Amino acid sequence: MNSSISRQLIFWLAIPLMLVALCGALVHYFNNVAPAVISSDRRLKEASNALMARTQIVNGQWSLDARADGRPPLPAAGSAVYALRDPQGRLLLGDSRLPVVTLNNETSQLFAMSQIDRRYLRTLSTRFDTAAGAVIATVADTHSAAEPAARLGLMSTLLWDFVQLDITLVLVWVGIQLGLRPVKRLRDEIAERSPLDLRPIDESSVPREIAPVVVTLNRLFSLLRASVQSQQQFISNAAHQLRTPITGMQAQLDLLIAEPAAQPVKNRLLTLQEGVRQLAHSSNQLLTLARADPAANISARKQPVDLNAIIGEVVAKFYDRALQGNIDLGIDVHPVSIKADPSLLDDLVSNLVDNALKYTPAGGSVTVSAGQLNGKPFLAVEDSGPGIPADERQRVRQRFYRMPNSPGHGSGLGLAIVDEIARIHDATVDIGPGASGAGTKVTLQFP
């Protein structure tokens, strides 16, 4: 699964920012809350020690000895409130507003927050022994009333820190998206290109961070263009080197068959002539297929082409063959122009008409039509031959595939060539029955 740069950046920024927010909360706690808590605890312990040291029973009455001596002094008036209770919770001395605290045998002191007169005060409860038995002294520090506010301030600060963190991450995400716009533009520019477009990308319009990627792409495009040119040159040379000797062989065989001395072997010469004709046809189709390969046509130059003119030229080439086979070859065209490579379009129409004539019996018909269909240019070749079964209509587009019991000695390349050329021109190919339900109709619709 592909990872997202923006998500990774947000992730790696969120962790340290969260740690910074937590560190800030800890600093706030130790600077504002912890000192007050420590000071309050110290005062409570001092007050509790003073109560334990100065508690006395006189004539059965509990009281505090306030004399100035070496014992810990009692807390100043108004700085603390206290209550002495027996283990059953009965008040012995002090302020009854302080809550009753129960201490188990394992606990001798307990810090807590208690509500007194709608104020939260920090309290310390201590169990100690006296002459009359165990006593629990609870002391409340009136100066600790600000501690809940300090804790609330801590929580507010922590909450605000995380709100700021969220806002920061959103702003960072927006900044990343804006910063990645050049990358997205480059992606869209490459995605909108067809496989045939190998123009170099403008390096001056991309950020320095991705400039090396663009330079590498341009170098790859340059190598592909050079490879395509080399392949096209090879195809051109191969076509010349093959066609010239084959044409010469055909001419020599025609002359040899006409010689009176060759009459005893005329049948063999005719067989050889047919073989050379098939060789010429197959070599021409192989070269056409090589020219129609998208890899060899990356730099194909498309230009406005009059489709009717191409159809007229191709039908004229096959007119004599149609007459010899007693086939009605006709056209039904309306003015239409498309952007295409003229030579490849000529090969496409030629292969369609050649296939149609090959499979149409004597007395049949082949019609080439063109015009507008649903607002788009189309080209169609319809014949009255045996037709192509529905389960074979995809397979006949494969190279060198021929349907069982097909007539003649074809190479199975005609519709493969049509399919490749249509792909170069972004056209769709539909193979179906003719208008009457019989025969075959091949329809190409161009963008």
- Best CA proximity match to 141, nearest among 116, 164, 176, 168: 116
What confidence tens digit (pLDDT) does each residue in 140-151 have? 887 755 555 555
Residue pointed to by tokens 């002359």? 255
pLDDT in tens, 115-124: 777 777 888 8
Is the distance from CB of 204 to CB of 38 less than 8 angstroms?
no
Tell me the pLDDT tens digit for each residue of 172-190: 888 878 877 888 888 887 7
> What are the angstrom distances between the C-alpha of 423 and each of 292, 322, 427?
9, 29, 6
Q: CA–CA separation, 153 vs 440, rounded Å?
A: 85
pLDDT at residue 129 is higher than 70: yes
Q: What's residue 119's pLDDT? A: 78
**Digit-coded pLDDT (tens) for 18-28:** 888 778 777 76
Contact 430, 445 (CB under 8 A): yes
The span from the CA of 361 to the CA of 384, in Å, is 8
Weakest-pLDDT range from 1-10, 255-264, 347-356: 1-10
What's the rounded Cα separation, in Å, for the pair 24 and 39? 22
Q: How far apart are CA 224 and CA 349, in angstroms?
A: 29
Q: How would residue 299 be classed by pLDDT, with cut points 50, 70 and 90?
A: very low
Report long-range pairs for 145-152 (Cβ below 8 Å, ≥24 apart).
145/119, 145/120, 145/121, 146/36, 147/33, 147/36, 147/37, 147/40, 147/113, 147/120, 147/122, 148/113, 148/120, 150/32, 150/33, 150/36, 151/33
CB burial readout 313-341, b (16+ within 10 A) else e: ebbeebeeebeebebebeeebeebebebb
DSSP 259: S
pLDDT tens column, 31-88 = 766 677 777 788 888 888 888 887 888 777 887 877 777 788 777 776 788 888 888 8
Q: Determine the longest span between alpha carbons in the chain, in angstroms.
A: 164
pLDDT tens per residue across span 313-341: 888 888 888 888 888 888 888 888 888 77
Q: Residue 104's closest CA among 76, 134, 146?
A: 134
Please state, in angstroms and rounded to a whole number, the distance separating the CA atoms of residues 300 and 423: 13
Q: d(Cα 371, Cα 349) in Å, to the nearest integer? A: 14
Per-residue pLDDT tens for 95-116?
Answer: 888 888 888 777 778 888 777 7
pLDDT, position 341:
77
Distance CA 201, CA 189 (A): 9
Q: Are 413 and 353 in contact (CB under 8 A)?
A: no
Is residue 147 within 8 Å of 37, Cβ to Cβ?
Answer: yes
User: Residue 298 — pLDDT band, cuts 50, 70, 90?
Assistant: very low
Distance, first Cα to last Cα, the chain:
34
* Residue 118 confidence (pLDDT): 77
For residues 235-264, average pLDDT: 73
